[in-house]
């Protein structure tokens, strides 16, 4: 009789342990699903920001918004200014953004070859912050007349988008 009670208690403990393991795995799956949804949401937000930045650039933002144009500043200082609410507002379909355009200047040794002619590049940095504090910063190069390069070997780049960085503040 004593061994039957012991077997029952052991079986109940084993079933309880198995139930706890199943519940913990179920919780892990739920947390994984939640984090994946958050990642997808952030990725979509970044894609929307990049699309809006490209629209601003295609509209000729360098000339269209002269009040948004800064002369070269430190990249992180511009981000701080945007997060403090400074910058030019930009709203599309209820989404609120702020942005700055920086004229970085001519880089004579960063060149591009178009139709067998060398060109130097003029660089711009466009920084945009969303209302939920995502910051996207891109750097662009435009062709300008070739400037004398003091370096022995210039760096060749393609005009257009050179780099971008995303900060989740």
- The reported pLDDT for the residue numbered 60 is 73
Question: Does residue 31 fall inside a structural domain?
Answer: no
Of the candidates 114, 112, 101, the one whose C-alpha atom is nearest the C-alpha of residue 147 is 112
Cα 136 to the chain's mean position, in Å? 4
Residue 148 φ/ψ, nearest 5 degrees: -65, 130
Given pLDDT bands bounded at 50, 70 and 90, which one contains residue 62?
low
Q: Judging by DSSP bridges, how do beta strands 69-71 and 95-114 pair with one another?
A: parallel
Structural domain count of the chain: 1
Containing domain of residue 157, as a range? 67-168
Question: Does residue 6 fall inside a structural domain?
Answer: no
Q: What are the distances in angstroms from CA 115 to CA 20, 112, 118, 158? A: 70, 10, 8, 13
146 has pLDDT over 60 = yes
Question: Does residue 74 fall inside a structural domain?
Answer: yes
More confident of the two residues 5 and 141: 141
Question: Does residue 149 fall inside a structural domain?
Answer: yes
Q: pTM for this structure?
A: 0.73
- The reported pLDDT for the residue numbered 61 is 67
Question: Does residue 154 fall inside a structural domain?
Answer: yes
Question: Does residue 34 fall inside a structural domain?
Answer: no
């Amino acid at each position: 009789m004593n061994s039957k009670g012991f077997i029952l208690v052991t079986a109940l403990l084993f079933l309880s342990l198995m139930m706890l393991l199943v519940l913990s795995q179920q919780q892990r799956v739920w947390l994984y699903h939640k984090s994946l949804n958050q990642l997808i949401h952030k990725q979509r937000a970044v894609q929307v920001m990049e699309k809006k930045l490209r629209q601003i650039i295609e509209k000729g933002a360098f000339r269209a918004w002269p009040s948004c144009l800064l002369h070269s500043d430190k990249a992180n200082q511009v981000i701080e200014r945007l997060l403090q609410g400074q910058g030019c507002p930009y709203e599309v379909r209820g989404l609120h953004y702020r942005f700055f355009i920086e004229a970085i200047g001519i880089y004579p040794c960063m060149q591009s070859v178009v139709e067998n002619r060398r060109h130097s590049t003029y660089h711009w940095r466009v920084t945009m912050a969303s209302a939920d504090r995502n910051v996207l910063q891109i750097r662009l190069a435009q062709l300008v007349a070739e400037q004398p390069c003091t370096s022995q070997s210039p760096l060749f780049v393609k005009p257009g988008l050179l780099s971008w960085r995303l900060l989740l503040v």
